[in-house]
Amino acid sequence: MISIQRIQAVVMKDYQDLLKNAYMLSTAVVPLFFAFIFNQGEEIQTATVYMPILLSMVIVGSFIQAAVIAEEKEKNTLRGLLLSPLNTAEIFIGKSVLSAVSSIIMIVAVIFIGNIPMPDHILLTAAAIFISLIIFISFGTILGLVSRTVMETSVMGIPVLFIFGMGDIFRTMIESEWLLDVLSYLPDQQFGQLLLQLKDGQPVGDHFLVLTVWAVLSVTITIFIFKKRRFD
């Protein structure tokens, strides 16, 4: 049975900790600068136009989430949380709400600042963002659990930023067709292509399926590591 009161207590604690953490607050506004830069250039007709949204999910969703978890470890409070009466679902939801809300606020901000063209299908767009947030917040939780300090999450998170947040830029340097085909199944590529095809009125069922598989796998791995930390 999931308790809203227990989840709310976890969220309020994270909210108070976030307000005191200048590192996490300054990191959260980075996508705004990229959105502003994109708005100054020529109109982009590819999925790269959605990079500021992906950066919001990676930097705010993954990095902030990782920092929140790692800070618990630094303060030696994570063990107490894992051994508390809260079940796995309550811990995962409670520790994810703040990152999810912050990500959504940032996504809305970069859409307006970057003047990003969005599909007319609001419900499908919201569903794609929701599923992608589950993926990237799960990535952040995993980063936080395997990192020893908040600063270590920054170092370990750099590959995540380059691969998932700025992947479109680096993929232009790759000439191998088979490697590009493999990378096209990564969640950032699936998300960008989904929004682009949705905007053009094309079917997006395959992209939703791949994103859903990523979400299930990432949550499963997160829960496994959660339970392993609890037993350790």
What are the backbone dihedrals phi and psi of residue 221, each rounded to the nearest 5 degrees, phi first?
-65, -40
Rounded to a whole number, what is the distance in angstroms from the first to the last CA of the chain?
A: 25
Residue 131: CB partners within 8 Å, gap ≥ 6? 208, 211, 212, 215
- Residues 214, 156: Cα–Cα separation, whole Å: 20
Rg (CA), the chain: 18
Higher pLDDT, 38 or 107: 107
Band of the pLDDT at 169, cuts 50, 70, 90? low
- For residue range 204-222, list pLDDT tens digits in order: 889 999 999 999 999 999 8
Return d(Cα 65, Cα 70) in angstroms, integer: 9
Residue 59 has pLDDT above 90, yes or no: no
- Please report the pLDDT score of residue 41 as a whole number: 58
Overall average pLDDT of the 90-112 stretch:
86
Question: Is the pTM higher than 0.85?
Answer: yes
> Rounded mean pLDDT of 56-64?
85
pLDDT in tens, 187-201: 988 998 899 889 888
CA distances from 225 to 73, 146, 198 (A): 14, 9, 35
- The pLDDT value recorded for residue 213 is 96
What pLDDT does residue 231 have?
54
Total domains, the chain: 1
Look-up: residue for tokens 């990191």? 27
The domain in which residue 190 lies consists of: 4-231
Calpha distance 107→153 (Å, rounded)? 22
Average pLDDT over residues 93-97: 83
190: which 2 tokens?
A: 């699936």
Over range 62-69, report the average pLDDT.
83
Mean pLDDT value across the chain: 80
pLDDT recorded at residue 215: 95
For the chain, percent of residues with pLDDT exceeding 90: 16
pLDDT for 146: 84
CA-based angle 47:112:183, to the nearest 5?
20
> What DSSP character marks residue 95?
H
